Structure 1
Amino acid sequence: MKVLVTGGAGFIGSHVVDKLVDNGYDVVVVDNLSKGKRENVNKNATLIVADIRDENKMREIFNEYKFDYVFHLAAQASVSVSVKNPVEDANVNIVGSLNLIKLSIDLDVKKFIFSSTGGAIYGDDVDIYPTPEAICPKPISPYGIAKFSVENYLRFAKHEFGLNYTVLRYANVYGPRQNPFGEAGVVAIFVSRMLKGENVTINGDGEYIRDYVYVEDVANANLRAVKARSGLEINIGTSVETSVNQLFGYLKKIIKYEKDPIYGPPRKGDIRKSVLCYTKALEELRWKPTVDIEKGLRLTVEWFKRNFKA
């Protein structure tokens, strides 16, 4: 089976590529390497450096490789960047995705697996935790709005053109290969700074609640989505609440970091609490998280120690 993984040189995408290669799939990676790294790409996958917004180039690629499945992970993935520049966010996350959806329809792709967000899609107006998929999304950031828009375009594509799809709504993904620089995930930033003995800044009061899911578990969910029923939105999380202060405490203990955090202003666009119910994933994908937060953080710290020198 020939599959396309967009964003396959990135943090989550490269783990999905590894999982697909290990399971016998013939994988082509499309990545513009704006955030991804060549060294992340499995040596048994084909890397094409291209941008999903380049419709002509993407059509050439689709025509040449005749993909059976598309795993779409390429994205502008920062909430704070989306708040600062919603037009750029929409160009990548909506227009780029529409290019892929159209090509998947035109060239008879069997299934489109879309990496969406559970962390940013439901918004702050939620009264059920862990939050199930039945809760109507009310995203409060351009990033979340864009992801929900693509979900709706996929629903349209299935209704009008018969495109099969599965949407995976991720909680806060962390683990090896996460970039600690720029607009990165909090785990990667904290680990990098702690290992260097630098100060760690917590945005806001540290009581923002998140659901942290290990990247290897997310890759497994993508693999299982190939055989899932079409037209589903599925949360991929752990249902475990962890505050930023708790996260800091776990890492401080693992790394033996001696400083206290510095508290700064909250980030615009951040929701107060996000915890996902994964019952639907268990029912539809036979998936559940296998790596708890403390084990996952230890594995992540070990990887950073091997790959980033203080």
Structure 2
Amino acid sequence: MTSEDTPQPADPADGTDPADGRAPAEDATSADVTGPGEGSLPADETSPAAAEPTPAPSPARAKRTRKSLSARSRGEGWEKPQGELAKYRSQARAALRFVAQRGFFGAVVGSNLTTSKVVHRRVKTVRGPFVLVANHSSHIDAPMLARGLPWAQARFLSTGVAADYFFTVWYRRLFVRIIFNAFPVDRGGSRKHAGTSRKLLRAGVPILVFPEGTRQLDGKMADFKPGAAALAIGVGVPVVPAAIIGAHEAMPKGRSWPKPGRPPVAVVFGEPMISHEDESAVDFSARIRARVKDLYDEHHDEVLGSAVRDEEDTA
């Protein structure tokens, strides 16, 4: 595995939408502004056909458009962020974040870890907001995900952090906002920031969620809480599953710095997922977890070697 995106085998020409694997919808822009007979010779201006209005989309085509998340985000757009939410889609902040995250901070990560990534080609076709979901065992998980995701999708990616720790002191708040475009998450029963993640998604801001809820002490993947799946279903956005391999071995919970020797850590981004019709958040969450586990297992040995796998199995 290299630090470059691993190419994926070309899909057959099956007419599926690259963002969600469903039948492609017409691009909303061209469908709305072009006249009849696009792609053929223009009708004579004096002919009756030229005066006929553009026919309304068929129910089947309208259904395909609703199912295609890329077409949906282009056609309907998302709410313009207002007030405090506006900073999460700030172009100036994104430019600063690129320099800090992929320049300075990236150099620190690269000098202490041997990093690599695999990105499914359909991740690069996602437009608009999405929920990035990954396993969680180390403090280096979020930086690895933010650095590994293609910039077109990572530009406004926002990560939830503990409000009672990171947002109470100005320098911590500044750090997490510059590096992670962070938003506050309440702990201890507070509801002060309830609904922020949903508001961000509706404002076109993708978010990173760790459904296990906390870092795992043994590095083994715990059950996923259904909150991330419920968000994706409720707002109507795709989920991008990701597996982080080697983070626990490199910097387990309790360490404040990676182990010496530049241990290997890889992040694998899988094909975007959307919920099935009438699928519950619990069932969708279970399907997301299974996909993340498959990504982890598929790439484990090439990152860490089979010897580590044997140690995990006997632990």
TM-score by length of 2: 0.35
Higher relative contact order (CA 8 A, sep 6+): 2
TM-score by length of 1: 0.36
Q: Which has the larger radius of gyration?
A: 2
Greater fraction strand: 1
